Structure 1
Amino acid sequence: MAAAVPATAGCSDVSAPGVDWRRCLLDGRDFPNADLTGAVLRDASFSRAKLAGAKLAGVEGPDARFTSADLTGADLSGAVLRGADFTRAMLGDANFLRADLRQARFFRADLRGATLTGAELSGTDLSGALLGGALWVDGQKRCAAESVGTCQ
């Protein structure tokens, strides 16, 4: 029986469900409304990328970097994003339903209107994050309009 060949990232591969972009530098690229469902984004960099409306449900993206990226309205439900960096990212109306966001960084990110129901936020840095109108992890509480850093 032949040994299994480890999958390698295809950084030049087109966006598609299940694409393997681990450790890829995709800074400043445009992926509006892209379907990246189940993609492997471990250690990938999407700084300043445009991912508005993208489908990122179930992605594996520990330690991925989305600094200053536009993920407005993106679906990140069920995504594994432990240690991901969303510093200054635009995440308005994004869906983080049941996402693993442990140790993620949302410093000064815009999460207004985002859904965080069932998300795991242990150790997550929400310093300066705009949370007005976000649906909190309990699925019941809607953050007050003036919520910054904590859901009020």
Structure 2
Amino acid sequence: MKTTIFAAFAVLSTFLGTALVPSAALAECTDPAQPKVNWRRCYFDGRDLSSAKLAGAMLRDATFQRATLKDADLSETDSYRAKFFSATMPGVKLDGARLIEADFTRADLTGASLKETDLRNAKLVNAILHNANFTGARLGGADLRHADLSGATWIDGTTVCAEKSVGQCN
């Protein structure tokens, strides 16, 4: 009888031990900047991530307030609801990124590449978007109030916004 109880206990502990092991990797906010890194819900406020290679990274709900992402590669990232308030991002590459409900309020995106980017319901209020490329981007519901779109290539890939295009491409 004792042997049966111990055997049952051993089977149960083995089962519970493996059942409690998480199956998906959790975000590691201390991991170095690299392609496909999982920085979900991480804070990088004020950090210098210039030229960072983050293609394909998980950046959902991450914050980059006042961060520097000059010439960074954020293409193909999942940046749903990410926050880039007042971020310095000239030359950033966001091609194919999922930026639904992302917040770029007062961000500097001069010369940014936003080709095929999903910016539905994103906030670009007071953003600087000089010479940005929006070819193929999805902008449904995006808030462009007071955004400077001077010289930006519009979603059709041919229209270039006139100088002093503020809030809309003229």
Runs of 4+ in 1 over 2 A off after TM superposition: none
Higher gyration radius (CA): 2
The whole-number CA distance in structure 2 between the counterparts of 1:13 and 1:27 is 16
1:66-91 per-position Cα deviation (integer Å, ceiling 9, x unaligned): 00001100000000000000000000
Instruction: Point out the structure with the larger helix share.
Output: 2
Give TM-score scaled by structure 2 length.
Answer: 0.87
CA RMSD in angstroms comes to 1.0
Alignment match, 1:146: 164
Q: Do residues 93 (structure 1) and 111 (structure 2) align?
A: yes
Residue identity (%): 48
Which ranges in structure 2 are unaligned for 5 or more consecutive residues? 1-17
Partner AA of 1:101 in structure 2: L
Q: Deviations over 1:43-73 (max 9, x none)?
A: 0000000000000110000000000001100
The residue that corresponds to 1:25 in the other structure is 43
What code does the residue aligned with 2:149 have?
Answer: L
Structure 1 unaligned regions, length at least 5 = none
User: Counterparts of 2:86 and 2:28 in 1: how far apart (Å)?
Assistant: 24
Structure with the bigger RCO (C-alpha within 8 Å, sep 6+) is 1
Choose the corresponding residue for 1:120, options 135, 138, 154: 138
Q: Which residue of 2 is the match for residue 68 of structure 1?
A: 86
Map Cα deviations across residues 10-62 of structure 1 (whole Å, 9 max, x no partner). 10111000010000011000100010000000000000000000001100000
AA at the equivalent of 1:48: R
Correspondence 1:131-142 to 2 at 5 A = 131-142=149-160
Q: How many residues align?
A: 151
**Match status 1:130 vs 2:148:** yes
